[in-house]
């Protein structure tokens, strides 16, 4: 189940499932791939549609934790 503050969707060809990603100082886990997520796009799971509209689209640095 997706969880607010933890789950993100990515293109698994770019950032694979299970990867840990830091966005704006918060750590998220790639747990979904989403139908419209292609290329260098990340969808951060939030609790409601209203909140997703409020947050909108933004561009920021993303750091991927190295896999051992």
For the chain, which residues make up each domain, given as ranges?
7-64
User: In the prediction, which pLDDT does 68 show?
Assistant: 66
Reported as a single tens digit per residue, the pLDDT across 12-57 is 999 999 999 999 999 999 999 978 899 999 999 998 999 999 999 9
CA distances from 57 to 18, 25, 52 (A): 23, 18, 9
CB 54 within 8 A of CB 5: no
Mean pLDDT (whole number) for 52-64: 94
**pTM, to two decimals:** 0.87
Q: CA angle, 20 as apex, 40 and 47 as ends, to 5°?
A: 80
Mean pLDDT (whole number) for 49-67: 92
**For residue 7, what are its two tokens?**
């789950």
């Amino acid at each position: 189940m997706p969880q607010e503050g933890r789950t993100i969707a990515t293109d698994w060809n770019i950032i694979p499932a299970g990867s840990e990603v830091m966005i704006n100082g918060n750590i998220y886990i790639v747990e979904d791939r989403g139908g419209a997520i292609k290329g260098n796009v990340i969808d951060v799971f939030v609790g409601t549609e209203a909140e997703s509209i409020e947050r909108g689209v933004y561009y920021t640095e993303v750091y991927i934790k190295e896999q051992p």
